[in-house]
Homo-oligomer: A and B are copies of this chain.
Amino acid sequence: MANLIEGNAIIGQSGGPTAVINQSLVGVVQGLRAHGAGRRGHPIKRILGMCHGVRGLTKGELIDLTEVDNDRLERLAATPSAGLGSTRDKPDHPYCTRIFEACARHEIRYFFYIGGNDSSDTCRIVNELSNHAGHELRCFHVPKTVDNDLVGSDHTPGFPSAARFVAKACMADFLDNISLPGIKINVVMGRHAGFLTAASALARRADRFEGSTDGPQLIYVPEAPFDTERFVQDVAQVYDAKGRCHLVVSEGISDANGNSIGAQLIKSGQVDSHGNVQLSGSGALGDALSDLLKQKLTPAGGKPPRVRADTFGYIQRCWPDTSPVDVAEARGVGRFAAELAIAGDLDGTVAIERVSPIGGPQPYAAQFRRLDLNVVAAKTRHMPHDFLEGHNNVSQAFLDYCRPLVGPLPMFERF
């Protein structure tokens, strides 16, 4: 504790919640308490929580976590969504100044912010402002996002559990699709990164059902430019061959110029207008693709094919059947951040580094590392090229990368 400045610690949660974000919150609290924070004589006096992230902090909406019963913390850790409340606020410089002023007012010297790349950027700016103003603040970013789009990490806490949901949902929904054949579109979250959509490929169990090609047969991620005509041809080809087609589409699919397909389809009049182009918390993209396929694949004088679209929606990020690896790592990154603070580090983010080779017989293993805030702040990671196969599939390398993260999947039987 050589280097510890006296004051309070505060923890906040930001951005879209996940099924394991409270694991990280509890990890920070337990990590600080394990080293005596909150006990008489320790330089870290109180452990506070921000209600709804920096928005609550600036309004003085704080709760004291210093002495919350450990059993209650454990129950909270196993609860999905952000227990402290979250916020979508992306602070600019004046807002960051208010944050830093609130920190000074509440004698906060240790600032932990659990979130994605925007949260990391907030940490970075608050840290700089505080340092310039002479109020030493130690800022730690704790990674979290189902989108898996933070640079510098093998993957991000929250992603494995969401990927587990997507894989299980596609396993079950594919069986629904072969039971009542038709064209089935599933729209998956992930913003401009395709990792979560790609995880649907884990639903395929070709190892088990030899000779059968399991769904999803087509996977569209934002990293592969989406061509509407080619999409229709892809679906027609599978549908003609099998009498059914199970496909998964990322909410963030874009054309070669980076323009959102959802927004284009909805605005173009090629399908009927849906009134808005909001792509999250809405079935608009799935329904637009569904309308498109019905139009293009109806034979002259014939009936349109049976096309259904589901948008997995918010339950992707809050479904309480978590991945064991994710639970352990989400707790671990919180605890590691606490230990960075206790060890006297001034700032940083926590990265997950895989130490086992991808693929092959070695069991999965990872370790945590401190990285500078500016390594991750406000940057977006995309799927690397070798995780893609053509424009509508993912590679074996991606499957090898993703499989150990999601945990054991059910084994289904088929005739």
Residues of A within 8 A of B (CB): 13, 16-17, 19, 49, 63, 72, 75-76, 78-88, 168-169, 171-173, 175-176, 178-180, 184, 271-276, 280-284, 286-287, 290-291, 294, 307-315, 317-321, 410-415
Contact = CB atoms under 8 A, between A and B. Distances in A.
Contacts of A179: 13, 17, 81-82, 85-86
Nearest to A175: B81
A249 to B, nearest CB: 13
A248 to B, nearest CB: 13
A200 to B, nearest CB: 13
B84 A415 contact: yes
Contacts of A287: 274-275, 282-284, 287
Contacts of A414: 76, 79, 83
Nearest to A178: B85
B311 A283 contact: yes
A171 to B, nearest CB: 8
A307 B278 CA distance: 10
B310 A315 contact: yes
Contacts of A286: 282-283
Given A172-B318, A310-B314, 11 more contacts: A17-B176, A19-B172, A49-B415, A75-B413, A79-B175, A85-B180, A280-B308, A281-B308, A282-B290, A283-B284, A310-B313
B276 A87 contact: no
B176 A318 contact: yes
A180 B17 contact: yes
Contact of A172 (B75, B80, B282, B290): B80
Contacts of A49: 415
A318 B308 CA distance: 15
A169 to B, nearest CB: 5
A287 B187 CA distance: 15
Contacts of A88: 180
Contacts of A317: 176
A309 to B, nearest CB: 6
11 contacts: A13-B179, A80-B176, A82-B179, A82-B180, A85-B180, A88-B180, A272-B272, A274-B274, A276-B291, A308-B314, A312-B315
A312 B313 CA distance: 8
A414 B51 CA distance: 12
Contacts of A294: 276
A373 to B, nearest CB: 24
A125 to B, nearest CB: 22
A176 B410 contact: no
Contacts of A314: 173, 176, 184, 308, 310
A209 to B, nearest CB: 12
Given A83-B413, A411-B75, A282 B283 contact: yes
